[in-house]
Amino acid sequence: MSAAAQSSRRIVLGVEYDGSGYCGWQTQAQGRTVQETLEGAVSTVADHPVRIHCAGRTDAGVHALEQVVHFDTVADRTERAWVLGTNVNLPRDCAVRWAHQVPESFHARFSACARHYRYRILTRTTRCALERDRALWVHQPLDLERMQTAGTALLGEHDFSSFRAAGCQAKSPVRRMHYLNLRRDGEVIDLAIGANGFLQHMVRNIVGVLIAIGRGDASVDWTRDLLAVRDRTVGGVTAPPQGLFFVRADYPVEYALPQAAAGGRSSTIECAEKSVQ
């Protein structure tokens, strides 16, 4: 029987990776990418070429705790075989956490109801050798209370034009931000942020603005002012990628994804509305 005549299955994977050695998610003419690496490993297990789609494309240097991807295959493998077989063929900086078969209605990007990110900021006077690819080093003290107050203004539905990359191709700049929380743990400030969708560089641009506010270089009202002006050219500096982590994406409960980064819990608040693209 030909491959075309065999029945196709849609498989979802939860993938973690260290983005330090990659030129981002998307396959490109030159440079090592997560998509190309993962497609090669999965294709070996499937014994035929596969095309992989992800929940959110990450830039060069950005990490993922649980990137959600899907692919179609005619191969008949157990979920355990997809995990173990793919991991055997992956480099040490990329690993599959789980696999799950879903109906063809599922799409890693378009079925997502919400996405979650973390950004880590290391605040100390000297650079850190161990955190160089895991956090942004800021050698000045940051006022966490000012940053949190400024971040609160971003909650809810807004036009985030001032926080999108100049080349962002999203059809609409409107997004609904569900939460933005900052927590200090010793020398590290951890920002957790979730929304129904994100624009290109949106998280990194928000971080850049909040750092300026935390240093006292801008007023606490700057986030509110930027939302009102809707102009990226008056926004802050884009924070570098190494402190950014894609945490997970949320999906309707009927797909029953394992989602280890969610602790096995579905996010009903985020999934109350469809993600905008």
CA angle 267, 210, 207 (to 5 degrees): 60
Rg (CA), the chain: 19
Q: How far apart are CA 207 and CA 6, in angstroms?
A: 48
DSSP alpha helices (H): ranges in 5-153? 34-46, 79-88, 144-152
Coil, strand, or helix at residue 250? strand
Estimate to the nearest angstrom the gap between the alpha carbon of 106 and the chain centroid: 19
Is 59 one of the catalytic residues? yes
Mark residue 186 as left, alpha or beta (left: phi above 0; alpha: psi -120 to 50; beta: remaining). left
CA angle 62, 80, 64 (to 5 degrees): 10
* Dihedral sign, Cα of residue 128, residue 67, residue 168, residue 210: negative
Please report how many Cα atoms fall inside a 13 Å half-sphere around the Cα of residue 129, on the Cβ side: 0
Copy the structure tokens of residue 97: 């956490």
**Annotated catalytic residue, options 18, 59, 72, 185:** 59
Which residues are known to be catalytic?
A: 59
